Amino acid sequence: MAKSQQRGQPQAGTRALWQPKDWHAILFMVAAAAFFFRDILFQQAYFWEDFLYYFYPVRNLAAVSLAGGQLPLWNPFTFCGMPFQADIQTALFYIPNLLLTFFVSNGHLNFYWLEVQIILHYALAGVTMYYLAKEFGIERLYAMFSGLAFMLSGFMVMHAIHQVVICQVAWFPLVVVLFHRALHRKSLLHMILGGLVLGHAVLAGYPQVTLYIFLFLFIYFLAELGHSVSTHGWKESIPAILIGAGFILFAVGITGVQLFPTIELAPLSQRAEITYQKSLEGSLSWDRLVTLVVPKFFGTSNSQGTTFWLPKPYWEYWETCVYAGIAVLALAIVAVTKFRKNRTIAFFSAVALFALIYSLGDDGLLHKFFFSVVPGFSKFRNPARMSLLLAFSLSILSGYGLQEVAHAVSAKSKRFMLIVGSIAGAGIVLRLIISGGAFQPTNSAQFMQQLQPMVSSEATTALVLIIVVAGILFLWYRSAVSGTAAVILLLAVQFIDMHMFGFSQNNSPQNPQAYFEQTKPLVDMVKDEGTREYFRVNSRSGSAMILDRNQGMIDRIWLVEGYTPLALQRIYPPAKDWQQQCDRMNAKIHTVVDERTHAAHVGTSTTYSPRVYCVFRDTVLPQDADMKAFMEGDRYQPDSIAVLEAPLREPLDGSGKGSATITSYLMNSMSVDVNADKNCYLIFAEVYYPGWNAYIDGARAPLFRTNWCMRGVPVPAGIHRVELRFEPDSFRHGLWITMITVVLAAVGIGYSSRKTRPASKPPA
């Protein structure tokens, strides 16, 4: 592209009457985000769903633990214990999450500060997209439109409840700015800074988005490399290859502290592999492309309830949202007509088409290919999340579209008016087609009669917006309004459009504090009982719950259940039924459901195993099937025998007496005093995981996976202190990689800054 385009300089004939300064754009993005989420900011409403059930509990546990001086590598409060930091969605080392530690008060993180953090990331997304649009040669006023388009795109609005998605996506445009500058300027400084920003974005914690961002950067790199080779030849293009590789290496290096533990966790989790059929959940279909123009054509699913009438899970509404706004779509169409004259427009047009086809899942060709061939893509469902790249591309294209409109107005192009007329005509035709019953199921006339008013209303709203946008473009063309006024009107229409579409999407009346405090009597009872003994709580039975699945991370209660995508494969030992599984994992309090009323109430088990106990007999069953059969049978007595996968050096003789008393129980360690008259096997009703080490009287001792999913330590006769410490090598190695990367980055930035610093003038 031309140098003027690279540096964001306006082209002849495109200058608007008013060119805002950068601080105007920043203020605009902050104000737009604040107004859009005003009910959240003024606590008239609250984020819902996954924010309430997962992200707030996770952030609370991390912030409270750090405020108390503990690094939460292990989470003992969920699923009988599981890795915490290794689960990338906990985003422990993402800097804005670390800052939440300062807002801990009275042992809790107020949920409000997490909501504010999310809203600030919306403003960040708008600002960074504004700068990216400028980087690609779009004027400031038009770049503001790109920023607003991205910040309040359907993808962004729908995922407000997914903190990690918003936090990571907000940095995406800035990553591309720095990548573009690094390649075009062959800049070591921008390579390092860009790698650090990308790595920090990865630490925000959503691997599917990470995969899509890396895919985009790879495609963009190939496009830039191809252009460089065709223009300058291979020899001149080698520095760009090295810069691109260095950019990615710095990003990967800075994430080492997270990457290594996550790589260790992934194959041990329930998400290690998913079937192709499972991966298709959350796919678009050809008929649902109508939602590009009529977003609520198939109903909605939001914080007020669901009217989503497709035979799909309610959550597919927000996972398959591809709506970007009528003005954005119209302006992107204007830009696409110039794809032959502008390779950046051609590139983003191709990316938008790719993202749309991939989002179709099995209805397109791309998802199956990537699932089968490209590493990483077989780990995720929801192909429509690729619409991130659609929203990203349409935002850039809409800025270009505004610039092309200015060109057309200056040249009085009749071809432009043909495009505007076509957009308005297409809206009218679409409205007529919808009125005729297209895109709708026909198997139930009564059902369709109920739906028709809703569908007709949404289609009419879309038609009005299309006509308004076309009218503004027409008035601009006819010089009835100035370019500045026209752009401001389009900004207003875009905001109003997305406000109507998504303002109430995430405004739940459910106060998170009140939600978790409604079980305070039970929590107080459990904590009081917990001062006398260690035990777990079985919080749910089917759909009935006495505590929320992740409430343990808020009230520090040991729960049998949890809610996380990366739950371990081995959590519960084989048993005859669920009650017996809970007993074996030390669940004293359990959920009882009345068969007649289906109401849940609290029950107390009398057959639960202690958290730690001694046994004096062992059996070796190396095959999983044999171990399952034995532990589900009547011969297995958990309080008297250890089931091992490999024989001990000194087998137990089956007799003896002993006791085990827990003297300390922290997040990453526990201590037990053991008194046994013979050699014994100390069993912990704690989930086994690599990285747990055992120490007997301070000396390292062997620790084995026992009873399918528990930890076990052979202990000699006598009185001993046994300690378990979570000391994963993966975390230690990853930390070293991150620290080395930080040092190299500091050296590189210092060298680049010194090299580019202007030489001082000699004294006169």
The model's confidence at residue 654, banded by pLDDT at 50, 70 and 90, is confident
For the segment 632-658, the average pLDDT, to the nearest whole number, is: 89
For the segment 144-157, the average pLDDT, to the nearest whole number, is: 98
Token pair listed for 376? 């990483």
| pLDDT reported for residue 235 | 81
**What's the per-residue H, E or C state across 561-587?**
CCCCCCCECCCCCCCCCHHHHHHHCCE
* Arithmetic mean of pLDDT over the chain: 92
Residues 48/161, Cβ–Cβ less than 8 Å: yes
The model's confidence at residue 761, banded by pLDDT at 50, 70 and 90, is low
Lowest mean pLDDT among 34-43, 336-345, 651-660: 651-660
pLDDT of 280 over the 60 cut: yes
Note the maximum CA span of the chain: 98
Lowest mean pLDDT among 127-141, 188-202, 264-278, 612-626: 264-278
Higher pLDDT, 455 or 165: 165
For the segment 276-295, the average pLDDT, to the nearest whole number, is: 92
The model's confidence at residue 17, banded by pLDDT at 50, 70 and 90, is low
> In whole angstroms, what is the distance from residue 59 CA to residue 555 CA?
13
Lowest mean pLDDT among 116-130, 398-412, 605-619, 657-671: 398-412
The model's confidence at residue 311, banded by pLDDT at 50, 70 and 90, is confident
- Neighbour count for residue 604 (Cβ, 10 Å): 11
pLDDT of 667 over the 90 cut: yes
- For the stretch 458-478, pLDDT in tens is 888 999 999 999 999 999 988
| pLDDT reported for residue 596 | 79
Measured between alpha carbons, how far is residue 101 from residues 64, 107, 122 in Å?
7, 11, 21
pLDDT of 764 over the 70 cut: no
> In whole angstroms, what is the distance from residue 391 CA to residue 389 CA?
5
Nearest CA to 748 among 363, 195, 283?
Answer: 195
Higher pLDDT, 95 or 273: 95
What is the SS3 assignment for 234?
Answer: helix
What is the SS3 assignment for 112?
Answer: helix
pTM: 0.94
pLDDT of 528 over the 90 cut: yes
- For the stretch 538-557, pLDDT in tens is 999 888 899 999 999 999 99
Nearest CA to 404 among 138, 588, 158?
Answer: 138
- For the stretch 65-104, pLDDT in tens is 999 999 999 999 999 999 999 999 999 999 999 999 999 9
Q: Kindly give the residue spans of alpha helices, DSSP state H, lying in 255-320.
A: 256-265, 276-279, 316-319
| pLDDT reported for residue 437 | 67
- For the stretch 343-360, pLDDT in tens is 999 999 999 999 999 999
| pLDDT reported for residue 13 | 43
> In whole angstroms, what is the distance from residue 559 CA to residue 78 CA?
5
Nearest CA to 399 among 357, 342, 356, 467?
Answer: 342
> In whole angstroms, what is the distance from residue 460 CA to residue 262 CA?
48
Which of the residue ranges 207-211, 340-344, 471-475 has the most confident prediction, judged by mean pLDDT? Answer: 207-211
As a whole-number percent, the residues of the chain with pLDDT over 70 amount to 95
Higher pLDDT, 520 or 597: 520
The model's confidence at residue 2, banded by pLDDT at 50, 70 and 90, is very low
As a whole-number percent, the residues of the chain with pLDDT over 90 amount to 78
| pLDDT reported for residue 752 | 87
Higher pLDDT, 278 or 414: 278
Strand partners, 669: 725
Q: Kindly give the residue spans of alpha helices, DSSP state H, lying in 503-622.
A: 512-517, 520-530, 552-555, 578-584
Strands (E), 568-701: 587-593, 600-604, 612-615, 618-620, 642-644, 658-665, 669-676, 680-687, 692-696, 699-701
Please provide the distance, in angstroms rounded to a whole number, between the alpha carbons at the two ends of the chain.
43
172-185 helix and 387-411 helix, angle to the nearest 10 degrees: 70
Task: State the amino acid at position 488 in one-letter form.
Answer: I
How many helices and strands (H and E) does the chain possess? 30, 22
Measured between alpha carbons, how far is residue 132 from residues 125, 176, 656 in Å?
10, 7, 72
- For the stretch 224-239, pLDDT in tens is 999 888 888 888 889 8
For the segment 247-267, the average pLDDT, to the nearest whole number, is: 96
The model's confidence at residue 6, banded by pLDDT at 50, 70 and 90, is very low
Non-local CB neighbours of 11 within 8 Å, separated by 6+ positions: 4, 5, 137, 403, 407
Non-local CB neighbours of 495 within 8 Å, separated by 6+ positions: 32, 36, 148, 152
| pLDDT reported for residue 327 | 96
| pLDDT reported for residue 435 | 72
For the segment 170-183, the average pLDDT, to the nearest whole number, is: 97
Lowest mean pLDDT among 354-363, 407-416, 659-668: 407-416
Token pair listed for 478? 């006819």
